Amino acid sequence: MLLMVVWVMPKADAALSEAQIHDLFSRGKALFKQANAKVSTDPETAKKLYERAALRFERLIAEGGIENGRLYYNIGNAYFRMGDLGRAILNYRRAERYTPNDPNLKQNLSYARSRRSDKIEETQQTKVFKTLLFWHYDFSPNIRAMIFAIFYGLFWVAALIHLFIRKIPRWVFVSTAVIAMLFFSSVCYETIVHIRSPGGVILADEVIARKGDGLTYQPSFKAPLHEGTEFTMIEKRGGWYQVELPNGRRCWIPENSAELI
C-alpha cells in the first residue's frame, strides 16, 4: 500500500507548532517504511511500528488541527496493515470526503470492503442515485463548492455584459444558473445529511444488533454484525445508535462499538 506524502500547515489555534507538525509527519513516514520492511520477516514488530506511525498521524489531526484526504489515507493504510479492518475503512471513508476520485484510495477502500465478514449490498435505489448523480458522489464538497462559485460568478458576469455591452444568448444564463444551482444544492444537501444522519463504521470485532436501545431487546438479526460494516446513523439515544445499513434495514447498536465518519 502506497504512503502519500502530504504538505501540512498548522491552523492558527493548533496546539503544535509548524516544526512539531513536520517532525511528527516525518517520524510517522519513517515508522511506516520501517514496518513495510519488516512485514515478511517480523510481522509482530511490523504491527507495532504501524501502530506507532498511526498514532503520530492521528496526533496531527487531534493536536495539529490538520485534516486532509492524504493524511486520513495514510492512517487507513496503517490500520489495514495492523489488521484493524474497522478503523482502516473508517479512515478511508474520512479521506473520501476530501479526495473521492483518488485511484489509490478507491482501490484500497474497495479491497478493505471485500475483506469484511458482513456482505451487505446497497439497495438498487442507492446504486441508481450514484449513477445518475455521479457529480454529487465523485466530487469532494470543496470541489463542488468551487464549481458553484465559478458558475455563479459566470452568471453575473454574463448579466453585466448583457446589461452594458452586448446581448448574451439566453442559454448562457440558463446553463450557468442551472449548474450553479445543482452544485449549491448538492453541497447544502450533504451538509444537512452529515449533521442529521452521519455515516459510521463498526469498530468492534462483532456486535449484536438489537430491535431497541438496550440489552433487553431482541437481536435484529440471526448473526452479529462485524468490524468494517458501514451504516448511516438515524438517531442517538443514551449510549445507543439507531442505524440504517446499506440494504435499508434498521437496528440499534451500542455507541461504543462504532465511530462516526
Domain of residue 248, CATH code: 2.30.30.40
Q: What was the pLDDT predicted at 76?
A: 98
CA distance 6 to 12: 19
Question: Which CA distances in Å does 55 have to 18, 37, 106, 175, 259?
Answer: 18, 19, 23, 48, 17
For residue 200, with 0-12 CB atoms within 10 Å meaning exposed, 13-18 middle and 19 or more buried, which class applies? buried
Q: Is there a contact between 15 and 64 (Cβ–Cβ < 8 Å)?
A: yes
Is 60 exceeded by the pLDDT of residue 122?
Answer: yes
> pTM for the full model?
0.84
Let me know whether 98 and 171 are in one domain.
no
Q: What's the pLDDT tens digit per position in 149-194? A: 999 999 999 999 988 888 889 899 999 999 999 999 999 988 888 8
Instruction: Please indicate whether residue 77 or residue 123 has the higher confidence score (pLDDT).
Output: 77
How many helices (H) and strands (E) are present in the chain, helices listed first?
Answer: 9, 7
Is 90 exceeded by the pLDDT of residue 3?
Answer: no
Question: Which CA distances in Å does 29 have to 60, 63, 75, 142?
Answer: 13, 18, 11, 27
Pairing outcome for strands 250-254 and 230-237: unpaired
Tell me whether residue 167 is in a domain.
yes
Q: What was the pLDDT predicted at 9?
A: 56
Let me know whether 191 and 203 are in one domain.
no
Q: Of all residues in the chain, what percent carry a pLDDT higher than 70?
A: 95
Q: Which three cell numbers stand for residue 155?
A: 452568471
Instruction: Please indicate whether residue 139 or residue 199 has the higher confidence score (pLDDT).
Output: 199
Let me know whether 31 and 95 are in one domain.
yes
Is 90 exceeded by the pLDDT of residue 248?
Answer: yes
Q: What was the pLDDT predicted at 141?
A: 87
Range of the domain at 229: 199-260
Burial 129-156, CB ≥16 within 10 A → b, else e: eeeeeeebeebbbebbbebbeebbebbe
Let me know whether 157 and 187 are in one domain.
yes
CA distance 153 to 150: 5
